[in-house]
Amino acid sequence: MKQADLFDINGHVALVTGAASGPGLAFAEVMAENGAKTILTDIDAAGLDRETSRLRAAGCDVERVVVDILDTAALRAAIDGAVERHGRLDAVFANAGISSGPGYGLSPDGAIDALDLALFERAIQINLHAAFHTIRLAAIHMKRQKSGSIVVTSSIGGTRSEPFVGYGYAGSKAAINNIVRHAAADLAPSNVRVNAIAPGAFLTNIAGGRLKSEPERAKKFAAMSPMNRIAMPDEIKGLALLLASPAGSFITGAVIPIDGGTTAR
């Protein structure tokens, strides 16, 4: 098979949660730029308007749906609506997520006896429960059509103890990693693949965008990686395209780090 065919997603239908910025926007861009009909969802209406307008101006076939990821009925409506409009669903990126505050290695507020418990619970709700429902609702359609790729945004903080991330974030990402493996085995007979991308330090808006505005914090995160830098959102696009395209046809149940070598140490 030629390279162009391996990565051909032209005419596919893709849906991305948390698509107004960061890795979610990168996922939406790489899908749309390679010919997929792409539905961007986010709670940030202004961000969605800005990015869908930009992508449409570039000739991409994109839609926007404002969704609070914690509203399971609204999430179902967005996913079901995509299938009703386009007849199928080829790729879903369960990307929406939040920080749960600093890790114990960054601040005394991150220690287990000083946690913001409300933020801990909210991280579990969004990063675990909402991500699970995204997988589940996508699987309903993909199982019926006997094809599809579900990609979850996890974190290397869910694969090992990581002092720079909060308890809620680490716990939610560890749990979603195992749900990915579980769902992959469950859905494999239906030719539906489920994988997780586990980024290291990327320049995103998570945690209030502090890596952009706090040089000392950014320096600490950069030092985690043997490459000694923080990745840009565009650097996640290649892996996303692999997992969503025919090139990834035998990859399922994987939690793939993209971290500049951090977990190799």
For 144, half-sphere exposure in the C-beta direction (CA atoms, 13 angstrom radius) is 10
Contact 16, 28 (CB under 8 A): yes
Contact 91, 148 (CB under 8 A): yes
Which two three-digit tokens encode residue 130?
A: 């909402």
- Best CA proximity match to 10, nearest among 191, 246, 196: 246
For 84, half-sphere exposure in the C-beta direction (CA atoms, 13 angstrom radius) is 6
Contact 231, 260 (CB under 8 A): yes
Phi then psi dihedrals of residue 254, to 5 deg: -95, 145
Verify whether residue 169 is a known catalytic residue. Answer: yes
Catalytic residue of the set 7, 104, 120, 169: 169
- Best CA proximity match to 152, nearest among 43, 24, 2, 265: 24
- Best CA proximity match to 252, nearest among 175, 197, 194, 177: 194
List, as one string, the DSSP characters of 124-158.
IIIIIIIHHHHHHHHHHHHHHHT-EEEEEE--GGG
| Enzyme catalytic residues | 169
